[in-house]
Amino acid sequence: METALRGGERTGRERPGRSGTRGPGGRWLNRRVSPTRETATAPARDLRRLRRYTYGSVIGSGPLALFMGAAFLAASDMDPGALPLAAGALTASVALCTAALVLHWNGGDLWRRRALWGAALALFLLGAGVEAASTPIGDAWAAPTGLLVAEAALWARPGRRARALMVGVLAATAAAVGLALAGLMTPQAMIMTVFLLPAVAGGIVCQLWHYQVAQEIEKARGLAGELAVAQERLRFAAELHDVQGGNLTVITLKAQMARRFMEERPQLAAAEVQAIEELARETLKDMRAVVGGYRKVGLSEEIDAAARTLKSAGVAATVPDAVPSLDEDAERLLGLLVREATTNLIRHAEPTAADVSIVEVDAAVTVTVTNDGAPKPAHGAGNGLSMLAGRFGEAGGGVEHAHEDGRFTVRGTLPRAAAPARRLPLQPRRRAGRLAPVRARRSAS
């Protein structure tokens, strides 16, 4: 588990412009949150699928608008001599506007996008003017108008794009109504513009906004996991400071006193050295207890802590409703197993669901922690699991770990004490995360 996948690194391309900075769209479109290796978990795969879908929807709007415009032009009553010029202007306008959208997706400079948009607008007006010279403007220009409005709205900052989109749609609609009242546009083309313009422009802007929100959610999920690990480190640091700070201060003072008494009062110096030795042994014992996780470690407490940690990391978790009555050493070891497995799955994997179960079979108790989102480890168990395996072996048990179909399982087994089992109720079954948790496995006596 120690070698499992680490997520949250940005691997998307960030293409700088001439000035070395990205355009407004590129500030977020190319920040992909994905694992560092090619093997990805479900959230990362879903984000990549959403990226491809968004790209296809946004950039594909250009060919779709061109197809609709060409079909309407072919069915119009325009002068055959002017038809090629209008069709060419329509094709070039749509191509340039689509190129501006591609630049926005890849973080191109705003001034280049504006230059392409200006050329697209000029060709759009040229083609519409050619048609208006021979016959009233038809339906061919409704969808390309949506492309122009969408690209112009994307110039605004992310928080102001809805307002810019609304202004652009209203301005284009007002222009269509004015042309229709002046007899330069057919009523059918005006109605088509009123309905098709906001659909095309709003669809493009909303698709990009939806992808941005998905990116931010995935980024927040990774940060939540890192925060949970950081909180655990702070807890360990505070516990180590509390244990060692006072003892080391006393050792320092007694060493200074022993040095002063060494020549004039050797008996007092020897007593101080003996006190230092005893205090050092006690400090070493406390340090081993902290490092080994033996201080205040219980199975039920560690399960509660695991549930809170997984919830803060956005992982759907299921835990047992009760734990068996065990001796102190067994509770410590099984609690350490839950702590180690929980820390590893948050630090080195990208899980969406985790499961903690307790099973009593004959004279043995088994605690199992399973999570998804873990690729196959490149090597064996890490240092934490190796040390746990040694401690479980000394207690007559064992630790196993396995990877199968993207799920990583850590299982620890210890022999039961001869005392009868007594159930210690936990809090009601906890459900954490954004997914519907699987039904918890209950203890089987």
Instruction: Specify whether the CB–CB gap between 127 and 141 falls below 8 A.
Output: yes
pLDDT tens-place string over residues 315-369? 888 888 888 888 888 888 888 888 888 877 877 777 888 999 998 887 889 999 9
> pLDDT class for 2, splitting at 50, 70, 90?
very low
Q: Indicate the CATH number for domain 233-292.
A: 1.20.5
SS3 per-residue string spanning the chain:
CCCCCCCCEECCCCCCCCCCCCCCCHHHHCCCEECCCCCCCHHHHHHHHHHHHHHHHHHCHHHHHHHHHHHHHHCCCCCCCCHHHHHHHHHHHHHHHHHHHHHHHCCCCHHHHHHHHHHHHHHHHHHHHHHHHHCCECHHHHHHHHHHHHHHHCCCCHHHHHHHHHHHHHHHHHHHHHHHHCCCECHHHHHHHHHHHHHHHHHHHHHHHHHHHHHHHHHHHHHHHHHHHHHHHHHHHHHHHHHHHHHHHHHHHHHHHHHHHHHHCHHHHHHHHHHHHHHHHHHHHHHHHHHHCCCCCCHHHHHHHHHHHHHHCCCEEECCCEECCCCHHHHHHHHHHHHHHHHHHHHHCCCCEEEEEEEEECCEEEEEEEECCCCCCCCCCCHHHHHHHHHHHHCCCEEEEEEECCEEEEEEEEECCCCCCCCEECCCCCCECCCCCCCCCCCCC
Q: Name the least confident of 199-203, 288-292, 435-439.
A: 435-439
Write down the residue that tokens 């109504």 correspond to.
Answer: 177
Tokens of 274: 């003996």
In terms of CATH architecture, what is 306-425? 2-Layer Sandwich (3.30)
pLDDT tens-place string over residues 56-99? 889 999 999 999 989 998 888 888 888 899 999 999 999 999 99
The yes-or-no verdict on residue 439 having pLDDT over 50 is no
- From the CB of residue 275, how many other CB atoms can be counted at a distance below 10 Å? 15
The yes-or-no verdict on residue 219 having pLDDT over 80 is yes
Burial track 196-215 (b if 16+ CB lie within 10 A, e otherwise) = bbbebbbebbebbeebbebb
> How far is 152 from 249, CA to CA, in rounded Å?
67
Residue 415: phi and psi, rounded to 5, are -70, 145
Q: Among residues 360, 361, 334, which one has the least CA distance to residue 443?
A: 360
> pLDDT class for 312, splitting at 50, 70, 90?
low
pLDDT tens-place string over residues 117-128? 999 999 999 999
> How far is 79 from 269, CA to CA, in rounded Å?
114
Q: Residue 121 has what pLDDT? A: 94
Percent of the chain with pLDDT over 90: 27
Q: Residue 246 has what pLDDT? A: 66
> How far is 359 from 431, CA to CA, in rounded Å?
20
> How far is 127 from 219, CA to CA, in rounded Å?
45
Most confident of the ranges 28-37, 117-126, 294-303, 327-336: 117-126
Q: Residue 63 has what pLDDT? A: 92
Which pTM does this prediction carry?
0.55
pLDDT tens-place string over residues 409-423? 999 999 976 444 444
- From the CB of residue 85, how many other CB atoms can be counted at a distance below 10 Å? 16
Q: Residue 417 has what pLDDT? A: 67
Higher pLDDT, 427 or 400: 400
The partner residues of 90 in beta bridges, in order of sequence, read none
> pLDDT class for 289, splitting at 50, 70, 90?
confident
> pLDDT class for 243, splitting at 50, 70, 90?
low
**Where are the domains positioned within the chain?**
16-218, 233-292, 306-425
- From the CB of residue 174, how many other CB atoms can be counted at a distance below 10 Å? 10
pLDDT tens-place string over residues 371-396? 988 777 665 556 677 878 888 888 88
Q: Residue 37 has what pLDDT? A: 41
Non-local (6+) Cβ contacts of 247 within 8 A are 279, 282, 283, 286
Percent of the chain with pLDDT over 70: 78
The partner residues of 409 in beta bridges, in order of sequence, read 370, 402
pLDDT tens-place string over residues 154-201? 998 888 889 999 999 999 999 999 999 988 999 999 999 999 999 999
Instruction: Specify whether the CB–CB gap between 422 and 325 falls below 8 A.
Output: yes
Instruction: Specify whether the CB–CB gap between 381 and 51 falls below 8 A.
Output: no
> How far is 154 from 151, CA to CA, in rounded Å?
5
Name the average pLDDT for the chain: 78
Q: Residue 433 has what pLDDT? A: 41
> pLDDT class for 434, splitting at 50, 70, 90?
very low
Average of per-residue pLDDT across 269-273: 86
Q: What is the per-residue DSSP string for 253-314?
A: HHHHHHHHHHHH-HHHHHHHHHHHHHHHHHHHHHHHHHHHT-TT--HHHHHHHHHHHHHHTT
Instruction: Quote the DSSP letter at residue 333.
Output: H
Tokens of 411: 């299982």
> pLDDT class for 43, splitting at 50, 70, 90?
low
